[in-house]
Amino acid sequence: MDSILKFFVLFLVVVEPLSLVPIFAVLTAQYDAAYRRYVASKAVLISLGICLLFAVAGAQLLRMFGIGLPAFRIGGGILLFLIALDMVFARASPIRATTSKEEDEVRSRQDISVFPLAFPLITGPGALATILLTFGEAGHTPAVYLGLLCAMAVALILTWLAMRLADPMMRVMGVTGANVISRLSGVILAALGVQYVIDGVRGALA
């Protein structure tokens, strides 16, 4: 139960539903309410599909490339720590950011649910690394796997709700409120990233 709760908190912090609210509001400002609901729903469903793929095939992917879990813990921990630094200082993360050419593509197309919403804003490198780390450590216990999948689904549902309620949430918290929440979440994520590195070093030396 502790591992499931830890994964839920970590995954939710990495996805950052509240920090996604102002981005979603800006990207969909020109759309009507019905299309915004469609974009939010499609983005979350695509994100769920990506997450399920990494949850099911992540361990095999690591084995195919000859990457051990200790090495991935260290690499994933460093990645999460870098994301946490950007969250604490309230700056755009280059890990989740898009290039200028990608931004031009976003402006020229109507459907933004796949890019940039589903990837990299919802299921970015940090979220995928978290899934690979957690599900790789879960072993073959069906109950744990099911619990982790449920936790992942709940986090994505909360992300969907945040996008659906983007307008009233922006009126309540504003950009400043979103940045404060992001900073607090970044501190937690930084500590978890360091813990992953420590666990990876211990595993490599064991």
Residue extents of the structural domains in the chain = 2-205
pLDDT at 97 over 60: no
Q: Residue 104 has what pLDDT?
A: 57
Contacts of 101 (CB under 8 A, 6+ apart): none
Report the pLDDT averaged over residues 97-105: 55
Average pLDDT, whole number, for the chain?
A: 84
Contact 19, 178 (CB under 8 A): yes
Evaluate if pTM is beyond 0.85.
no
Nearest to 21 by CA among 121, 107, 145, 92: 121
Instruction: Kindly provide the residue ranges of all beta strands, DSSP E only, lying in 55-168, ordered along the sequence.
Output: none
pLDDT at 108 over 90: no
